[in-house]
Chains A and B, each alone.
Chain A
Amino acid sequence: MSERINPILARVFDISEDDVMKNLSRDDIEKWDSLTHMDLVATLENELGIILTVDEIISMVTLDDIRRILNKSGVK
């Protein structure tokens, strides 16, 4: 799963492949504002073929949250 998700996270948040492995939060990632959050949702949905719920979108506040939610959505 990480092989598919981590490159997307690195690209959307403009962070390195090393940083994407860490459990960084919205406070740690400079580019992670509300606009980038919307880009994140659209990119994940378009590239992974999933639909996220409002609760899932709101609860994505760390990189591990994102990985956990995507895992729960069945992203392999």
Chain B
Amino acid sequence: MALPTAIVTGGAGNLGAVIAKSLVQKGYNVAIFDTDISSRNEILQEYFCVDVDVTNESAVNSAVDKVSGMFGDIHLLVNCAGSIMSAPLINITNRESPRHGFTLFKNHIETNLSSVFLVGSIVAERMISTRTKGVIVNISSVCACGNKGQSAYSAAKAGVEALTKVWGKELGAFGIRVAAVAPGFIDTKSTSSALSEQKLKEIKSATPLRRLGNAENVAQAICAITENDFITGAIIAVDGGVVL
């Protein structure tokens, strides 16, 4: 029997690469959608990679065609592409430009929310047309409930959670399940470069489980969603209890 096929957007990133590796271990053919992967030999050798901007409609259509051409039906999409950005709504110490930049806001909505809509809608259409009872997992964040200093990121992730619920309702009749994983603070390079040692200490002490999560914890949640065929529309928090 042919292996099931998964697409992981942002699969060359810190979190995405761990997710991709877990899915290979679970027996998936994994295709990675990411940008600037031509020099990433360790990724190129392991996976079927497509260098694609996930906010570009024709590029995503063509990338999905490539995956279908290579592996056939698509059974799983993990929408992991995105970028974190922090900026206050009003920064009174910035005399020139105290307001959160509108272009900055729009760019991050495009990267973190529009991309999920675009890839999700294209893959859902393929799943329906091939009558594949597939799964879509969107990566949200604890920021979806509103994080100080993260207007764009929080709004985007709240939007991702809303899409997850809408799609769960709309696609369920076709046997397509949709869920989101909302990680808390995960021990990745981007977390340690974005937050000071002191801030990380504070976060750990405010987390009931007293530690940062790791990328494997997120990958495990995705695998659990794929294996449990009564989950849809759900947002699974993987945050050590930080939002309780």
A29 to B174, CA, bound (A): 23
Chain B: interface size category = under 10
A76 to B170, CA, bound (A): 29
**Chain A residues, Cβ within 8 Å of B173:** 38-39, 42-43, 46
**Chain B residues, Cβ within 8 Å of A46:** 173
Instruction: List, sorted by A's number, 12 A–B pairs whose CB atoms are closer than 8 Å.
Output: A35-B170, A38-B170, A38-B173, A38-B174, A39-B173, A42-B173, A42-B174, A43-B173, A45-B131, A46-B173, A51-B131, A54-B129
Instruction: Kindly report which residue of chain B lies nearest to residue A52, judged by CB atoms.
Output: B131
Please give the residue numbers on chain A whose beta carbons come within 8 Å of chain B beta carbons, in ascending order: 35, 38-39, 42-43, 45-46, 51, 54
A38 to B174, CA, bound (A): 9
Instruction: Kindly report which residue of chain A lies nearest to residue B174, judged by CB atoms.
Output: A42
Q: Closest 4 A-B residue pairs measured CB to CB?
A: A42-B173, A42-B174, A39-B173, A51-B131
Instruction: Kindly report which residue of chain B lies nearest to residue A51, judged by CB atoms.
Output: B131
**Chain A residues, Cβ within 8 Å of B131:** 45, 51
Instruction: Kindly report which residue of chain B lies nearest to residue A43, judged by CB atoms.
Output: B173
Please indicate which of the listed interface residues B131, B170, B173 has the most CB atoms of chain A within 10 Å of its own CB.
B173
A39 to B172, CA, bound (A): 9
B130 vs chain A, min Cβ distance (A) = 10
**Chain A residues, Cβ within 8 Å of B170:** 35, 38
A35 to B173, CA, bound (A): 11
Q: Please, what's the 1-or-0 string for B1-24, where 1 marks a CB less than 8 Å from any CB in chain A?
A: 000000000000000000000000
- Tell me the residues in window 141-178 of chain B with beta carbons closer than 8 Å to chain A beta carbons: 170, 173-174
